[in-house]
Amino acid sequence: MSSAEDWLAVHEAEGLKMVKAFCRIPSVSADPAYADGIAAGASFAADRLREAGFPFVEVIETGGHPAVLAEWVHDDTLPTILVYGHYDVQPPDPLDKWRSAPFEPEVRDDRLYARGASDDKGPLSVAILALRAFAETAGKPPLNVKVLIEGEEESGSPHFAPTVARLRDRLACDLVVSADGAMWRPDLPSVTVASRGLTALDVTVEGAAKDLHSGRHGGSAPNPIRALAAMLATLHDADGMVAVPGFTDGVKDPDPAIARAIEAAGFDTGEYYDSIGAERPDPLPSGRELLERQWLVPTLEFNGIFGGYTGHGTKTVIPDTATVKITCRLVAGQDPAAVAGAIETHLRGVLPTGYRLSVRRHGPGSAAFALDPALPGLSVAEEVLEEVLGQKPLRVAMGATVPIGEVFARQLGTGCVFFSFATSDEDYHAPNEFFRLSSFRTGQIAWVRLLERLATALA
Ligand SMILES: [Zn+2]
């Protein structure tokens, strides 16, 4: 056992006290009512980094909620890593569903219950404590370390990419290690090596210049709901696969290890449909097919559709417009702008005569993230996880969108290894969020070993 590990074992109670104090701060990023909590969250993170020995710690203005940047570059001959995390949390609502108050952390059954415990204050504290253990025992970390902690992750990180771009030189590193992200299942150690990107658009079809009486005009006037429904039906084939020409242009083959993880996962599809309360389709897709669709296949989903009268009773109206909200989850190689363009071109092609079409894109979207399977930092992380968790981790993809990996790849030209000890069943974003204290302890040991080994592996 290294002396940093000894220090962590001796100071376990102090570490828990620290993460509880962090969780007591209501740093909700989405709601301006919590502005004080955001400020307190940033300064708490900055103080803990100073306590962990960082000689340079700065609260950085971003144009939104501040970020915290710490730098400890003590030896030019050693590699440099950048640790990422976030101090903001999701809103605590609905409050009446919590067994203990969201900002009054409570330990029950070796779990810490609090908003932010799992996402991301617990896993971030794990990394900070491991860094502090080196400062307390060796006087410095085994390699150069920078830390970037943002305060807008839970509200879409609107200022994150521009901030990373602006600080590009100060953030330069050999590898990013994220203390955010979560292991997929408590029974299966995993590392996330890919996540899907996102592009979003609103599509509106307009018929007449105003709502019309369906008795007076029915049969002669254009009905945009009918036109839109017919157009949307052309976007997928009978199997639900996207049928837009150009949609999958540029798609790259995934890491073959993900296919092995899909096999090993033994995903029970019947149970899956039961768990979401949907009818089981007949025939039932295989577990492999379903996980491939969640992780490796791009999607086009209708998130909302509206037009005309949607209130109680009836209203005999022919609406002037109908709108659909669409989001696409993208895989590696797809360009978000090109995907939105392909959808728009397709819809213009199937627009019936007598209607107008307008398409509004929500921002530039984000590209998917895929880690280079041969990245040295990845195999070091896998080796450490196998050692502390007793099982070789699976390389998994994520259906959701985690923009940081792609932002760091684009702005800094570095890979990002996800090394969080949260697990996706820990009810983050929901009432009774918790973090397993076993993960809190194991995670600190793992971070110590990861930092030690990256010092030589990245050299
Ligand atoms: Zn998070």
Nearest to 319 by CA among 233, 230, 231, 214: 214
Q: Which residue type sits at 44?
A: F
Higher pLDDT, 188 or 74: 74
In angstroms, what is the span from residue 90 Cα to ligand 1's centroid?
9
- In angstroms, what is the span from residue 177 Cα to ligand 1's centroid? 14
Nearest to 154 by CA among 115, 112, 190: 115
Determine the distance separating the centroid of ligand 1 and the alpha carbon of 251, expressed in angstroms: 27
* Mean pLDDT of the 177-194 span: 89
Strands 67-72 and 144-150: antiparallel
Q: How far is the CA of 387 from the centre of ligand 1 (A)?
A: 25
Ligand 1 centroid, distance to 317 Cα (angstroms): 46
The answer on pLDDT for 10 being more than 70 is yes
Measured distance CA(186)–CA(426) in Å, rounded: 9
Q: What percent of the chain has pLDDT over 70?
A: 100
Distance of CA 209 to the CA centre of its chain: 42
CA of 134 to the centre of ligand 1 (A): 25
Looking at residue 399, its pLDDT comes to 85
CA of 160 to the centre of ligand 1 (A): 14
Residue 184: pLDDT band by 50, 70, 90 thresholds?
confident
CATH topology of domain 198-267+290-361: Alpha-Beta Plaits (3.30.70)
Q: How far is the CA of 342 from the centre of ligand 1 (A)?
A: 32
Q: Which of 89-93, 150-154, 252-256, 330-334 comes out lowest in average pLDDT?
A: 252-256
| pLDDT class of 417 with cuts at 50, 70, 90 | very high
What's the 429 CA to ligand 1 centre distance in angstroms?
9
Helix (H, G, I), strand (E, B) or coil at 223: coil
Residue ranges of domains in the chain: 3-181+402-457, 198-267+290-361
Ligand 1 centre distance from Cα of residue 61 (Å): 20
CATH fold match for the domains 3-181+402-457 and 198-267+290-361: no
Mean pLDDT to the nearest integer, 2-11: 95
> How many Å lie between the centroid of ligand 1 and the Cα of residue 394?
21
CA 264 – ligand 1 centroid, Å:
26
Q: What is the DSSP letter of 117?
A: I
- Lowest mean pLDDT across 145-154, 217-226, 390-399: 390-399
Contact in structure between 125 and 375 (CB atoms under 8 Å): no
CATH topology of domain 3-181+402-457: Aminopeptidase (3.40.630)
Give the whole-angstrom CA distance, residue 287 versus residue 59.
46
74 three-class SS: coil
149 pLDDT tier (thresholds 50, 70, 90): very high
CB-based neighbours (< 5 A) of ligand 1, an ion: 119-120, 180
Residue 305 has pLDDT above 70, yes or no: yes
Number of H helices, E strands in the chain: 15, 18
Distance 180 CA to ligand 1 centre (A): 5
CA 181–ligand 1 middle distance (angstroms):
6
Asked if residue 92 has pLDDT above 70, the reply is yes
Confidence of residue 47 (pLDDT cuts 50, 70, 90): very high
Region 409-429 average pLDDT: 94
**What is residue 66's predicted lDDT score, i.e. its pLDDT?**
98
Closest CA to 242 of 286, 157, 301: 301
Residue 155 DSSP symbol: G
CB atoms closer than 10 angstroms to residue 399: 15
Cα of 83 vs centre of ligand 1, distance in Å, is 14
Handedness of CA 388, 20, 185, 152 (dihedral sign): negative
CA of 213 to the centre of ligand 1 (A): 50
- In this model, does residue 159 exceed pLDDT 60? yes
Cα(132) to ligand 1 centroid in Å equals 22
Find the 405 Cα to ligand 1 centroid distance in Å: 13
Q: How far is CA 62 from CA 45, 66, 156, 167, in A?
A: 16, 6, 14, 11
Is the confidence at residue 1, as pLDDT, over 60?
Answer: no
What distance in Å separates the CA atoms of residue 200 and residue 303, rounded to the nearest whole number?
10
The pLDDT of residue 263 is 87
> Measured in angstroms, how far is the CA atom of residue 271 from the centroid of ligand 1?
27
Quote the tokens at residue 277: 């309360």
